[in-house]
Structure formats: C-alpha cells, structure tokens
Amino acid sequence: MARNWWIRLVFFKILLAVSVISLVPSLTGMDPKKWIIEKKINLGLDLQGGLYMVLGIDFNKVYRDELITSVRKADPFLRQEGAMSASFGELDVKDPADPKQTLIIEGDYATAIDKLKAYYGYSLRIVKEEGQSVTFGLSRDYLREMEATAVERSIEVIRNRIDEFGVTEPEIMSQGQDRIVVQLPGVKDITRAKDLIGRTAKLEFRFVNSTVPQAQLEEWVAKATAAGVKYEKGQRFSEYTDKLNAYLKDDLPKGFLLFFQKETSKVTNEITLMQPYLLEEISPLGGDALQEAVVRIDQQQNRPYVGIDFKADGARVFEDITGKNVGRLMAIVLDGNVFSAPQINEKIAGGSAQITLGAGDYNSLLGEARDLALVLRAGALPVELEFQEQRVVGPSLGADAIQKAEVAGLIGALLVFVFTIFYYKVAGLIACITIISNVILGMTCLMALGATLTLPGIAGIALTIGMAVDGNIIIYERIKEELAKGVVAKEAVAIGFNKAFWTILDANLTTALAGLCLLNFGTGPVRGFAVTLLIGIASTVYTSYFVTKLMFDWYVRNNRQTVSI
C-alpha cells in the first residue's frame, strides 16, 4: 500500500482509539475521576433533571422609574439652593422607550435651569422649554449605558446568589438584549431558587483592619487550604467562609473576620480573583440606613463620583462612626462579598457623603461609579426581573427518556445495518463500520467541545445514523454506474469517490446551514439538537468520504477485478 494510505490509517486509528477511551466514563457511568481522561458528556437539564428559567427585563419600566426618581429630586434640591421650587407636570410615555417628564419651576427660571443642569450632569437631557416649564428625558448615553450594564450586572448578581445555592454547573447567560437564561442542573426546589434569585441582597458597611499586612492574610488562607479548608466548586461560598473563620479562630485578631472580594469568570464559571480582607465582626451600619446613591460628576475636575445620602437616623450613626474612624477603610459588603473599600477622609455630618474613585479615564470611572451606585442603591438587582419561563424536570423523567431513546436508537441502527449489508454486501459492511465510527467520533466531539447532550440531541444522533449512510450510498451508486459502463474495479472506485465528493459536501453543507439557524434560534433542548446535528454533519463528511475511501483503497488493492457492491 502507498505510504500516504498508511498515514491516513494511523491517523484514523489514533483518532478512534482516543475517542473510545475518552467515552468510557460517559457510556459506563463510571466516575470520570477514576479514568485516564477525566471527562464526561454533559447531560442537559431534560436528561438529568433540574431547573431552567428565562428572566426578562422590562426596560420601558426601568426607564420610567429611573426618570421619575431623578426628576423627583429637583424640588428638594432647588429649595435648598434658594427661593425656588419645582412641581411635577405631565409624564409623556408616547414613546415608552423614551419617557419624558415635565417640571414646572417657580422662582427665577434661568438660575434654576443652570443649577439643575449642573446637578443632573450627563444623566438627563432637556427635551423642551416653555415658559416656566421644562421637560426632561434620560440622555441617550445614559439610556444606552443602562441597557448595556443592566443585563450584565444582573447576571453577576444572580451568579453571586446561585453560588449560595450550591449548584455544581450553573449556567447563567444573556439571550437577546433583555433576557437572561438560568440553568440549574439537579435543582428541584423551584420556590427556593426563585426566592434566592429574586430576593434583595444584604448590604453592610464594615471597617477594615489595616494593621495586618495583606501577605499575612494570604498566608492564613493558604494555611487553611493546606489543612483541607478550601472552597470547592458547588459549595456554598458562605459555608466556606464560615468554616475558614472557624478554623482560623485562634490566628485572627479578636473581633475580626475574613471576607473576600471575589470575581467569577463569565465564561468558565471559575473564580478568577479571591482577595481576602480582614473586617470587623460587627457591622456598625447596614444598607437599610441608606436613602439614595447616585452617580454625580465633579464639575471642576470632570470626574465621576458616587454621592450617597443617609436617612435621618442613619446620618447620625454615620457622622458618629466617621468621626471616630478618620483615615480607616470602610468596606462595602454585598451578600457577604466585599465590593469596594473606600477610605474615610473626614468626619461626615449632614448625612451626605461622596465616594471618590481611584485613577482611571473618564469612561472607566463612570462605569465603576455606576456599578458602585447600583450596589449601594438597594444592593439588589439593578433592574426588576420578570420570570417569563420556567421548567422543572424531575430526575426520573430523564432517565426513562434516555433508556427508551437508546433502545429505539439501537434497533433503528441495527435495521439500517441489516439493510445496508443485505443491499451492498462487502461495501455495506464497510458502510456500517463507517457509521459506527461516525457516531463514536461525533460523541467524542460533543464531549470535547463541552456541549450538552439533550433529548432532542439524542434524536439528532439517531437522525445522523439514518442520514450518514447517504454519503456511502452516493459513492456506491456512482461506483455501480461506472462498473455498469464496463470500467475496471479499481478505476470505478476512484471515479466514484471523485464524482461523489462535491455532492456529499454540497448536500451536507446545506443541512449545516439549517442547523446553524437552529443553533441561533434556541437555548436548552432544541439547541442541543442543533449541536448534535452540526457535529454529526462534520463527522459524517469525514467518515463517509475519507474513512470509506480508506477502507476501499485497501479493498481494491492489487488491482482486484470485482467489487462486492
């Protein structure tokens, strides 16, 4: 045989061997950690049970609320500034995506407008001025920014809360511009999950112990890790910090606890940053003392900052604690996670404070300020989420479905094999080997890509079995035609493969186009079908042309005169 053939053979054999080895845990149900290749095919929610939710954001409502909250502040502000006041006029929601609110100003109009412009900065725009009345709308930049950050920020908050639920492989992603899909495999308690996602987060302020160097904190964490107290994926994060603090009880200074600033990768779900903080055990002030937190812009330096206002009693506590702790850092802790730790520069009286931000260009500071304001504002989700769709699948339904589909798939495959061998003899046998390797390679691909196998996905595999023979049939019918013309076997085979190649490719590419549209269309189970269909198409083109050719080249070696086809 030609050298080129041996190379192709070895390539195929290695590919197949690796595939078979890597599929062992998935097929036998054995623990992948005990095997050479520690991977298993991900089963979709419909197969392993769990909770699937689609959360929607009603942006029109978000805009309206935001506008009204902002404009409401005009009256107290103007009164404070001097002999002026403002009263609410008409709310115009003809364009729900761009609501407009009219204010009627009493007092000197020109002064009032200048003051308001400076006060609102970039967030509002003036739509219309008429006599003593002025109409505000949200500025375009602000609208766009809200749109861009709302989904992303909501996902972060949800992820944080899901961590508390202890799910191993949660999937939280955006869909379109105003929807978030949450998938929690293995979770059955829909009410608890929904409460957790929808609840208001807990916001607290805690003083930082800066006398202990950061290196010491890291050392403590490392010591605990060495002793087996470490965070494991799927564990509740608060459980970990509780254990950690219990373990380090004798090392930590009295009255202080370890907290973390934690960031999670949106793609891999892995924690990318875990910076420890040593914070006071007792929080002197909770988020409920806050009245308002907004992004403002320092006109002189043109720098964004966050302005916070406390409620009356909160203001007294704040004045007291800031007076006693000038120069210390005060951590803003949301749901047990440190978000930021600004320094107290002076005693702050009157219930209003400014949180200035570190270095950075205008836009990045603006983004940071907005995030911080959102965290402070309610500690809650930046926008209200509506539960649009939810599906719970019990674990036994999936097990039943897998079993039935597997049996049916095997019988279907067997029928195809019998039919093909009966019709094409030796060539039919070759086709069957092709199909088997096709399914093996396809499943390995599915696993390697980390894609999820769903029930419609199994349907996709079954369909691939039915349709994959097509490639072989196209080739065989060509070879038969050439043989009928009286062409010798080896040549007929060569011509058959040559002519069939583009047909196979064209036919499969058009199916792939439909598959791509489907992939784009859905999430969850239907997406699973598109994935297996597409993978099936790729493996079909490889196996039904190249693998079949490999075997045929061997079959017609030594210028064989007849082919059993």
280's CB contacts (< 8 A; 6+ apart) are 206, 207, 208, 209, 255, 256, 257
How far is the C-alpha of 168 from the C-alpha of 161, rounded, in Å?
Answer: 13
Conformation bin of residue 418: beta by default, left when phi > 0, alpha when psi is -120 to 50: alpha
What residue type is 486 in one-letter code?
G
CB nearer another protein, residue 9 or residue 173: 173
User: Residue 186 or 409: which CB sits closer to another protein?
Assistant: 409
In the complex, least distance from residue 223 CB atom to another protein, rounded to whole angstroms: 46
* Min dist. Cβ of residue 468 to another protein (A): 9
Shorter beta-carbon distance to another protein: residue 33 or 485: 485
Comparing CB distances to another protein, the nearer of 401 and 494 is: 401
**Other CB atoms closer than 10 Å to residue 295's CB: what's the count?**
23
CB of 176 to another protein, least distance (A): 8
- Which of residues 349 and 473 has its CB atom nearest to another protein in the complex? 473
Q: Is 562 exposed, middle or buried (0-12, 13-18, 19+ CB in 10 A)?
A: exposed
Q: What would the two tokens of residue 438 be? A: 């096709």
Cα–Cα distance for residue pair 92/90, rounded to 1 Å: 6
CB of 426 to another protein, least distance (A): 14
Cβ nearer to another protein, comparing 291 with 388? 388
Cα–Cα nearest to 335, from 230, 196, 222: 196
In terms of CB distance, is 127 or 495 closer to another protein? Answer: 495
Q: How far is the CB of 454 from another protein (least distance, A)?
A: 10
What's the full length of the chain, in residues?
565
Q: Which amino acid is at 395?
A: P
Partners of residue 278 on adjacent β-strands: 258
Would you say 186 or 307 has its CB closer to another protein? 186
Identify any residues that bridge with 129 across adjacent strands, giving them in sequence order.
134
DSSP 487-529: --HHHHHHHHHHHHHHHHHHHHHHHHHHHHHHHHH--HHHHHH
DSSP-assigned beta bridge partners for residue 105: 86
486: CB partners within 8 A, 6+ apart: none
Beta-sheet pairing, 42-43 with 452-453: parallel
SS3 call for 464: helix
- Choose between 126 and 190: whose C-beta lies nearer to another protein: 190
Q: Provide the minimum distance between the beta carbon of 157 and another protein in the complex, in angstroms, as a whole number.
A: 21
Q: What are phi and psi of 433, to 5 degrees?
A: -60, -40
What is the smallest separation between the CB atom of 524 and another protein, expressed in angstroms? Answer: 8
Which amino acid belongs to residue 164?
Answer: E
Minimum CB distance to another protein, residue 164 (Å): 22
* Least distance in angstroms from the C-beta of 180 to another protein: 12
The residues, any chain, with a CB within 8 Å of residue 62's CB and separated by 6 or more, are: 146, 150, 383, 384
Using the structure block, give the residue that is written with the tokens 């079908």. Answer: 529
Please, where are the H alpha helices in 199-345?
214-226, 237-247, 312-324
Least distance between another protein and beta carbon 396 (Å) = 6
Four-CA torsion 358, 362, 367, 373, nearest 10 degrees:
60
Choose between 320 and 481: whose C-beta lies nearer to another protein. 481
Comparison of 135 and 154: residue with beta carbon closer to another protein? 154
277 and 331 Cβ atoms separated by less than 8 Å: yes
Nearer to another protein, 381 or 474 (CB): 474
DSSP structural state of residue 208: B
C-alpha closest to that of 544 among 466, 448, 484, 491: 466
**CB nearer another protein, residue 1 or residue 407:** 407
147 CB contacts (<8 Å, ≥6 apart)?
A: 59, 177
